[in-house]
Amino acid sequence: MSDTLTALAEHIGKKLGTKISGSSIAYGELTLATDAANIVDVMTFLRDDAACQFKQLVYLAGVDYPGRAPRFEVVYNLLSLTQNQRIRLRAPVEEGATVPSVTTVFRGAGWYEREAWDLFGIPFSDHPDL
């Protein structure tokens, strides 16, 4: 399983280059890091690329690290039924910074983005009903 995830991380890294700032494998899942500004491009790639096919947004959540800079992080969890894999995408967010909405990529993201806004005050630009 680890070899498959390592190959997937290498594939994504080659295709997206500097849009991916880091990757790790833990508990049988691949975690990628990216800047919030890249989130729509990265999510679109993960959904549409033939080697990825992460067609289902399982959830996204805001995370608060009060003693850390940047204080917040938005975490996206995706599922590929075709590949039988999960992937996690983490994007650090400065307090007061805006994150692009991924509702154009995954319509179901709307509710989760509203929850991150309500609980942590993380604003999502171009959200249809924040």
DSSP 33: E
Q: Are 34 and 20 in contact (CB under 8 A)?
A: yes
**pLDDT, position 57:** 98
With 0-12 / 13-18 / 19 or more C-beta atoms within 10 angstroms meaning exposed / middle / buried, residue 22 is exposed
Q: Is the pTM of this model over 0.85?
A: yes
- In angstroms, rounded to a whole number, what is the distance separating the alpha carbons of residues 39 and 5? 20
- In angstroms, rounded to a whole number, what is the distance separating the alpha carbons of residues 52 and 113? 23
pLDDT tens figures, 27-36: 888 999 999 9
